[in-house]
Amino acid sequence: MAAEIKPCLDGVQVLELGSSIAGPSATRHLADLGATVWKVEPPAGDQLRTWGTRAPDGSSYWFKGHNRGKRLVSFDVRRAEDAAAVRKLALSVDIVIENFRPGWLAQYGLDAQSLRAEKPSLIYLSISGYGQDGPMAGQPGYGAIAESMGGFRHITGEPDGPPMRMGISIADELAGLNASVAVLAALHARDRDGVGETIDISLVESVFSILESVLPEYVHAGKVTKRVGNQLTTAAPSNVYPTCDEQWIAIAGNGEGIFRRMAAAMGRPELAEDPRYADNHARVANMAALDAEIVRWTKTLTLDELDGVLARAGVPAGPILAIDAIVAHPQIRARAAVRMLRDEQGIDVATYGPVPHLSERPIQLASAAGAVGRDQALLPS
């Protein structure tokens, strides 16, 4: 009989000393992959429990999905006996992830230096606004500030409008992804040579690191990237375009072959031969005129008609979907990208399906997060 194939992180123990979004996001990824995650909340609970629409038990649905699959325990680390209990738990796990202000946990003996001095194999990861050193290290740093200081909001919005927020907590989610990648790399290295790691993740740097061409174009050409709305400034056409039924469609017809197919689909094959649009450099230089040509065409068709025409032509395109349309979309349904989980009180919670689809060790989502301290009895003695 073949041996049972266990989840990727089966047997890995993680302690989360986090709250809100970034730290819990990192540990959610690890829990999805099969790690046992101990989430420590204060007696009043993680503040995310109060954000957004509440479930019947008073905790937000967001919290319940964001902390799925974790073991929920409660301690007040400001009390000596609770700090000692959390320290004991920290020294029993493989990974500790925290997202408090630098230095705050040190007063309770729960910082990386204290714990790794006793257990060198421990992997300890900290997420903070600005990182663990530098002149701003000790200042509070939330995602909104990181998006601003990291450059994201400066380039987001319409040219004549104010800097804009994306609509989600992108800095926190990016930091969570960076954190999960880092601890997996450190776990592999520790299993190879027995030495743990101290990992420092900054919200600001998580945002700054995805600015793509903004940095090299400034350093090498003196260009300070401005807000340009929905245009892609390095390739054209790439924008969102209105339809005759007052919808919007995103079209990325910026490859050479793709643009030829798009021009043919528009009934305007001569556009591909026009010197203004003959290659990407020319199209970028004449972006406004080209977009005007495309708008004249898209406004003659409905969203469904455009989607079909462009799909048949092999042109990357897609409707701008609100959440109701996303949930109903056949591609989202086919990929099970929306899941329903139940907590211990029988409350059903909608949550996102895991992004990695694994062939040999498919991810099985566990229950939604429930009451504060729900799993206290499961703590190791």
Task: Give the domain CATH number at 120.
Answer: 3.40.50.10540
Question: Both 170 and 306 in a single domain?
Answer: no
CA distance 13 to 329: 37
Greatest Cα pair distance in the chain? 78
CA 70 to chain centre: 19
Neighbours of 66 (CB within 10 A): 24
Q: Do 104 and 182 lie in a common domain?
A: yes
Instruction: Let me know whether 94 and 205 are in one domain.
Output: yes
Cα angle vertex 376, ends 182, 59, to 5°?
75
Distance, CA of 37 to CA of 104 (rounded, Å) = 22
The C-alpha atoms of residue 22 and residue 301 are separated, in whole angstroms, by: 42
Residues 269, 154 share a domain = no
Same domain, yes or no: 184 and 309: no
Number of domains in the chain: 2
Give the pLDDT of the chain (381 residues) as one tens digit per residue. 456 889 999 999 999 998 999 999 999 999 999 999 999 999 999 999 999 999 999 999 999 999 999 999 999 999 999 999 999 999 999 999 999 999 999 999 999 999 999 999 999 999 999 999 999 999 988 899 999 999 999 999 999 999 999 889 999 999 999 999 999 999 999 999 999 999 999 999 999 999 999 999 999 999 999 999 888 888 999 999 999 999 999 999 998 999 999 999 999 999 999 999 999 999 999 999 999 999 999 999 999 999 999 999 999 999 999 999 999 999 999 999 999 999 999 999 999 999 999 999 999 999 999 999 999 999 998
Residue 284: give the domain boundaries.
Answer: 238-242+248-319
Q: CA 311 → CA 142, 251, 258, 265, 292, distances in Å? A: 41, 11, 11, 10, 21
Which CATH number do you get for residue 277? 3.30.1540.10
The DSSP result for 250-317, as a single string, is EEE--SHHHHHHHHHHTT-GGGGGSGGGSSHHHHHHTHHHHHHHHHHHHTTS-HHHHHHHHHHHT--E
In this structure, are 194 and 313 located in the same domain? Answer: no
For residues 39 and 329, what is the distance between their CA atoms, to the nearest angstrom? 34
| 197 within a domain of the structure (yes/no) | yes
- Report yes or no: 165 and 148 within 8 Å, Cβ to Cβ: no
Active site residues: 172
pLDDT of residue 255: 87
Tell me, yes or no, whether 120 and 144 share the same domain. Answer: yes
DSSP H or E stretch at residue 182: helix 170-193
Q: Which two tokens stand for residue 275?
A: 């010197």
Within a domain: 232: no
Q: Within this chain, do residues 59 and 177 fall inside the same structural domain, yes or no?
A: yes
CA distance linking residue 41 with residue 85, whole number of Å:
13
- For residues 331 and 318, is the Cβ–Cβ distance under 8 A? no
- Which of 293, 319, 345 lies at the terminal end of a domain, its last residue? 319
What global pTM score does this model have?
0.93
* pLDDT at residue number 381: 83
DSSP H or E stretch at residue 28: helix 22-32
User: ∠83-31-38 over CA atoms, to 5°?
Assistant: 15
Residue 339 and residue 315 share a domain: no
Query: Residue 1's pLDDT is what?
Result: 45
DSSP, res 77: T
